Structure 1
Amino acid sequence: MRQVWTLTRMQLGSAFDFLNMKRSKNLKKNISVTTILVLGFLLFAFLSGTYSFIMAIALKSMDLLDVLPGLFMAVTCLMILVTSIYKVKGVLFGFKDYDIVMSLPMKSWVVVASRLMLLYLINMVFVLAILVPNYIIYGVMAKASPVFYVLSMVSLLFIPIIPIIIASILGVILAVISAGFKHSNAIHTILMFAATLLVILLSFQMQSENQIAEFGTLIRDKMVVVYPLAGWYLKGIIQSDILSYTAFLVVSILALIVFSIIVGRYFKWMNTVISARRTTSKYKVKELKTSGQLKALYLKEAKRYFSCTIYLLNTSIGLVLMLVGVIALVFLKSDQIEQILNIPEAAGMLKEMVPYLMSFMVSLVAITASSISLEGKNIWILKSAPVPAKTILAAKISLSLSMTIPASILTSLLAGIGLKMGVLDFLLTLALPISYCYLTAVLGLVINLKLPMLEWKNETVVVKQSAASMMGSLGGFLTVGIPIALLFMVNGINVMALGYGTVVVVLLISGILQVYLNKNGAKLIARL
Structure 2
Amino acid sequence: MKKVLRLISVQLGAILGDMLSIGNNRKRKPKAIYFGVLLFVLGMGSIAFFYCFMLGKGLQMYNSIDILPAMMMAVISMIVLLTTVFKVKGTIFGFKDYDMVMSLPVKTGSIVASRLILLYSINFLFVLMIMIPMMIAYGVLANPGYLFYLYGLLTIWFIPLVPIILASVLGTGITYIASKFRHSNLANIIVSVILILAIIVLPLFVKDTGEEIVNFSRALTEQVNSIYPLADMYTKAVVHNNSMALVSFLGISVVCFLLYSLLIGKVFKKMNTVIMTGRYRTNYKMGELKQTTPFQALYKKELARYFSSTIYVLNTGVGIIMLIAGAVALLFVDLEQMLGVPQALDMIRKVSPIFISFCLATSSTTMASISLEGKNLWVIKSLPVSTKVIFLSKMAVNFTITAPSVIAAVLISIVLELSMIQTLLLLGITIGFSFFVAVFGMLVNLKLPNFNWTTETVVVKQSASSVVTIFSGIGIAALQYLMLLILPSFELAYLIYGILLILTDIALYKILITWGNKRFVAL
Q: How does the TM-score come out when normalised to structure 2?
A: 0.93
For the residue of structure 2 that corresponds to 1:239, the secondary structure is coil
- Asked whether the 8 Å contact 2:371–2:451 carries over to 1, the reply is yes
For the residue of structure 2 that corresponds to 1:253, the secondary structure is helix
Out of 468, 472, 476, the position equivalent to 1:475 is 472
The residue aligned with 1:521 is 516
Out of 464, 472, 484, the position equivalent to 2:481 is 484
- Asked whether the 8 Å contact 2:19–2:464 carries over to 1, the reply is no
The residue aligned with 1:31 is 31
Unaligned runs of 5+ in 1: none
The residue aligned with 2:307 is 306
Q: CA deviation at 1:65?
A: 1.7
Change (3 A) 1:358 1:166: same
Q: CA deviation at 1:199?
A: 2.6
The residue aligned with 1:118 is 118
What one-letter code is carried by the residue in structure 2 that aligns with 1:133? Answer: P
- Asked whether the 8 Å contact 2:15–2:462 carries over to 1, the reply is no
- Asked whether the 8 Å contact 2:76–2:130 carries over to 1, the reply is yes
The residue aligned with 1:434 is 431
What one-letter code is carried by the residue in structure 2 that aligns with 1:517? Answer: L
Deviation per residue, 1:6-59 (Å, 9 max, x gap): 3222222222225888xx953436332222122112111111111000011112
- Asked whether the 8 Å contact 1:77–1:160 carries over to 2, the reply is yes
Q: Distance in 2 between matches of 1:107 and 1:482?
A: 54
Q: CA deviation at 1:352?
A: 4.1
Deviation per residue, 1:295-340 (Å, 9 max, x gap): 22222211111111111111111112222222223344xxx22112
Deviation per residue, 1:419-472 (Å, 9 max, x gap): 454432332232110011011111111122222222211111221222221221
The residue aligned with 1:510 is 505
Change (3 A) 1:78 1:147: same
Q: Distance in 1 between matches of 2:99 and 2:207?
A: 49
The residue aligned with 2:40 is 40
- Asked whether the 8 Å contact 1:363–1:476 carries over to 2, the reply is yes
After superposition, where does 1:59-138 map in structure 2 within 5 Å? 59-138=59-138
Q: CA deviation at 1:92?
A: 1.1
The residue aligned with 1:217 is 218
Is 1:154 matched up with 2:154? yes
Q: Distance in 2 between matches of 1:347 and 1:25?
A: 51
What one-letter code is carried by the residue in structure 2 that aligns with 1:521? Answer: G
Q: Distance in 2 between matches of 1:120 and 1:476?
A: 30
Deviation per residue, 1:493-522 (Å, 9 max, x gap): 222222222221101001111111111113
Q: Distance in 1 between matches of 2:288 and 2:340?
A: 61
Change (3 A) 1:106 1:257: farther
Q: CA deviation at 1:95?
A: 0.7
For the residue of structure 2 that corresponds to 1:275, the secondary structure is helix
Between the two proteins, the alignment pairs up a number of residues equal to 520
- Asked whether the 8 Å contact 1:360–1:480 carries over to 2, the reply is yes
Larger mean Cα displacement after TM superposition, 114-123 or 161-170 = 114-123
Q: Distance in 2 between matches of 1:331 and 1:209?
A: 21
What one-letter code is carried by the residue in structure 2 that aligns with 1:285? Answer: M
The residue aligned with 1:414 is 411
Larger mean Cα displacement after TM superposition, 33-42 or 215-224 = 215-224
Q: Distance in 2 between matches of 1:212 and 1:459?
A: 40
Deviation per residue, 1:208-266 (Å, 9 max, x gap): 44345334323432232122222222222223322321222222122111111112112
Q: Distance in 2 between matches of 1:421 and 1:63?
A: 40
- Asked whether the 8 Å contact 1:37–1:467 carries over to 2, the reply is no
The residue aligned with 1:462 is 459
After superposition, where does 1:134-283 map in structure 2 within 5 Å? 134-201=134-201, 203-204=203-204, 205=206, 208-283=209-284
Q: Distance in 2 between matches of 1:34 and 1:377?
A: 26
The residue aligned with 1:380 is 378
Larger mean Cα displacement after TM superposition, 349-358 or 116-125 = 349-358
Q: Distance in 2 between matches of 1:29 and 1:435?
A: 35
Q: Distance in 1 between matches of 2:290 and 2:142?
A: 70
For the residue of structure 2 that corresponds to 1:96, the secondary structure is coil
Q: CA deviation at 1:188?
A: 1.1
Q: CA deviation at 1:350?
A: 4.3
Deviation per residue, 1:350-394 (Å, 9 max, x gap): 444433322332222121112122222222333444433222222
Is 1:500 matched up with 2:495? yes
What one-letter code is carried by the residue in structure 1 that aligns with 2:228? Answer: Y
Out of 383, 392, 395, the position equivalent to 1:394 is 392
- Asked whether the 8 Å contact 1:408–1:430 carries over to 2, the reply is no
Larger mean Cα displacement after TM superposition, 386-395 or 444-453 = 386-395
Q: How does the TM-score come out when normalised to structure 1?
A: 0.92
- Asked whether the 8 Å contact 2:201–2:326 carries over to 1, the reply is no
Q: CA deviation at 1:286?
A: 2.5
Change (3 A) 1:287 1:160: same
What one-letter code is carried by the residue in structure 1 that aligns with 2:511? Answer: Y
What one-letter code is carried by the residue in structure 1 that aligns with 2:86? Answer: Y
The residue aligned with 1:344 is 342
What one-letter code is carried by the residue in structure 2 that aligns with 1:483? Answer: Q
The residue aligned with 1:356 is 354
Q: CA deviation at 1:124?
A: 1.3
The residue aligned with 2:444 is 447
What one-letter code is carried by the residue in structure 2 that aligns with 1:446? Answer: L
What one-letter code is carried by the residue in structure 2 that aligns with 1:471? Answer: V
What one-letter code is carried by the residue in structure 2 that aligns with 1:112? Answer: V
Larger mean Cα displacement after TM superposition, 469-478 or 64-73 = 469-478
Q: Distance in 2 between matches of 1:438 and 1:507?
A: 9
- Asked whether the 8 Å contact 1:18–1:33 carries over to 2, the reply is no
Larger mean Cα displacement after TM superposition, 373-382 or 417-426 = 417-426
Change (3 A) 1:201 1:411: closer
CA RMSD across the alignment? 2.3
